[in-house]
């Protein structure tokens, strides 16, 4: 099965990313979760969760919004690395990051 990450922008635009095996080999699940947590802290983002828990899903959604849409479309290294980390962190063969409905 081909691994795919889809990103749905608030505007309704869709971007599909098809990582290579080499792209995905950068992270295993644990290192991907740690990389996302570190990036989240570096970006100075905060979770608006009333329980004050920093959930992986929230981190991915907030970070996805921080990256410029053009960076996804142009497949910049930063955007590609983030998408691969999100996929590996979630432990799924496919992932849809829906910024319209704020869901994974």
Query: What does the pLDDT look like over 73-86, one tens digit per residue?
Result: 999 999 999 999 99
Closest by alpha carbon to 59, among 75, 74, 73, 48?
A: 48
Cβ contact 103:10 at 8 Å: no
Question: Is 0.85 topped by the overall pTM?
Answer: yes
Q: Which residues pair with 103 in a beta bridge?
A: 98
pLDDT digits 0-9 by tens, 12-54:
999 999 999 999 999 999 999 999 999 999 999 887 666 655 6
Which stretch of DSSP H or E encloses residue 94?
strand 94-98
Instruction: State pLDDT tens for residues 59-70.
Output: 999 999 999 999
Instruction: Read off the tokens for 69.
Output: 């849409």
If you compute the radius of gyration of the chain from its CA atoms, what whole number of angstroms results?
Answer: 13
């Amino acid at each position: 099965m081909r691994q795919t990450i889809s990103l749905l922008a608030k505007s309704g635009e869709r971007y599909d990313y098809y990582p290579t095996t080499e792209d995905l080999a950068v992270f295993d699940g644990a290192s991907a979760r740690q990389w996302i947590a570190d990036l989240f802290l570096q970006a100075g983002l905060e979770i608006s969760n009333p329980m004050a828990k920093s959930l992986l899903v929230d981190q991915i959604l907030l970070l996805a919004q921080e990256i410029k849409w053009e960076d996804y479309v142009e497949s910049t290294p930063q955007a590609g690395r983030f998408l691969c980390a999100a996929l590996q962190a979630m432990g799924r063969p496919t992932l849809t990051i829906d910024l319209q409905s704020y869901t994974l």
